[in-house]
Homo-oligomer: A and B are copies of this chain.
Amino acid sequence: MVSCRPMSQSAKSMNDLFLRACRGETVERPPVWMMRQAGRYMAEYRALRAQHDFLTLCKTPELAAEVTLQPVRALGVDAAILFADILLPLEAMGAELRFQKGDGPVFPNPVRNRDDLERLQHPDVEGTLGYVFDAAREVRRRLAELPRPVPLIGFGGTPWTLAAYLVEGGISKHHAHLLAWSYGDPEGMLRLLDRLADVSIEYLRGQVEAGAQAIQLFDTWGGLLDAERWRRLAMPSVVRILESLPDVPRIFYIRDAAHLLPILAELPAEVLSVDWRMPLDAVRAIIDPLQPTGPKKALQGNLDPGALLGPIDEIRRRTRALLQAGSGGPHIANLGHGIFPMTPVENARAFVETVQEG
């Protein structure tokens, strides 16, 4: 005889559209959230940021949780994404990390060859990155207090994308050091990527244990590589990370990768998140025939974040066109890249509302 437990209040009213869409289930309407939805375009965020520097926001669980929840409260998005930075695990590995006003992240001691690898350690992940896990727990606690809790997404950068910053020492125009190493000593670079993957696996598992209900991997710089090099350099560590995750939906985001779609179809991820350059129906036409067995990938994306700088009517029109382009399969509405800091918040709201009106 099956015991019939009463459903808890929070489970009963949870908004699980996002998780169901990730799993490829048919849903009433596409869920919607925005990459970088916790950020500078929101006055609430700027107010907190005026009091605390960026790393302090990341490293103080109460502040990180507060920032994570700002867009959930203000815009009613269907998922929260943990406020953190993809570069934090590199700092935990011993790479000094600074955020300099105007310059973005800076690694004063970049890692550029096999010898430099010696300087990287495999950290006690709980000891060095526990603040991220604490933030995740705090977010889940606060989400549970909402009338309709939404799921929490954890995330990390792919090893190639982490390397794009660690090897260059920050944001780069040419990625000359990264490319020089990758062409000159691909085996050495694979060692670096492998070590970044080792730490990423523990880090992402820790996020899931602390309450993240899905994981998104960001391969912001994967599109620098042609297919042959992406397969050889970037893919192995990505596959290892994706296969090591506990049983939560896995989202793979990559920018600038129309040329990589046939390979991306092979990835062990439930969701592929693409930039704005190619309509979702065209993406599906390429990847679906290459996934002959098992459920097809859900697609996430892909409104041009620049479109949110246009007039509200045009945002609504383009959002409806996005929903149409995504309607051939499971779709999580999102932008094609992070929301720009100068986006008017009412424009972001128009995007979210248009999706939610269906």
A179 at interface, CB cutoff 8 A: yes
Interface pair A278/B306, CB less than 8 Å apart: no
CB distance from A346 to the nearest CB of B (A): 14
8 A-B residue pairs with CB within 8 Å? A176-B306, A179-B309, A183-B309, A223-B277, A224-B306, A227-B279, A259-B277, A259-B278
Number of copies: 2
Point out the residues of chain B lying under 8 angstroms from A176, CB to CB.
Answer: 306, 309, 340, 342
Point out the residues of chain B lying under 8 angstroms from A226, CB to CB.
Answer: 276-279, 304
Categorize the interface residue count of chain A. Answer: 20 to 34
Contact of A258 among B258, B306, B309, B340 (CB under 8 A): B258
Q: Known A176-B342, A256-B256, A277-B259; judge A310-B223 contact (CB<8 A).
A: no
Q: Mark A239-258, 1 if CB is under 8 A from B, else 0.
A: 00000000000000000101
Q: How far is the CA of A307 from the CA of B186 in the complex (A)?
A: 12
Q: How far is the CA of A306 from the CA of B168 in the complex (A)?
A: 13
Interface pair B311/A184, CB less than 8 Å apart: yes
Point out the residues of chain B lying under 8 angstroms from A277, CB to CB.
Answer: 223, 225-226, 259
- The residue on B at minimum CB distance from A225 is B277
CB distance from A108 to the nearest CB of B (A): 19
CB distance from A213 to the nearest CB of B (A): 30
A156-189 with Cβ < 8 A to chain B: 174-176, 178-180, 182-184
Contact of A314 among B184, B306, B340 (CB under 8 A): B184
- The residue on B at minimum CB distance from A276 is B226
CB distance from A49 to the nearest CB of B (A): 18
Q: Known A223-B277, A226-B278, A277-B223; judge A175-B306 contact (CB<8 A).
A: yes
B-binding residues in A (CB < 8 A) = 174-176, 178-180, 182-184, 223-228, 256, 258-259, 276-279, 282, 304-307, 309-311, 314, 340-342
CB distance from A216 to the nearest CB of B (A): 21
Q: How far is the CA of A282 from the CA of B286 in the complex (A)?
A: 15
Q: How far is the CA of A227 from the CA of B278 in the complex (A)?
A: 7
Q: How far is the CA of A305 from the CA of B176 in the complex (A)?
A: 9
Interface pair A314/B276, CB less than 8 Å apart: no
Point out the residues of chain B lying under 8 angstroms from A340, CB to CB.
Answer: 174, 176
Point out the residues of chain B lying under 8 angstroms from A228, CB to CB.
Answer: 279
CB distance from A163 to the nearest CB of B (A): 14
Interface pair B259/A183, CB less than 8 Å apart: no
Q: Which A-B residue pairs are the 10 nearest by beta carbons?
A: A179-B306, A183-B310, A180-B309, A258-B259, A258-B258, A259-B277, A259-B278, A184-B310, A174-B340, A176-B342
Q: How far is the CA of A179 from the CA of B314 in the complex (A)?
A: 13
Q: Known A306-B176, A309-B176; judge A314-B279 contact (CB<8 A).
A: no
- The residue on B at minimum CB distance from A343 is B176
Q: How far is the CA of A259 from the CA of B257 in the complex (A)?
A: 9
Q: Known A184-B309, A277-B223, A278-B226; judge A179-B256 contact (CB<8 A).
A: no
Point out the residues of chain B lying under 8 angstroms from A182, CB to CB.
Answer: 306
Point out the residues of chain B lying under 8 angstroms from A279, CB to CB.
Answer: 226-228
Point out the residues of chain B lying under 8 angstroms from A224, CB to CB.
Answer: 306
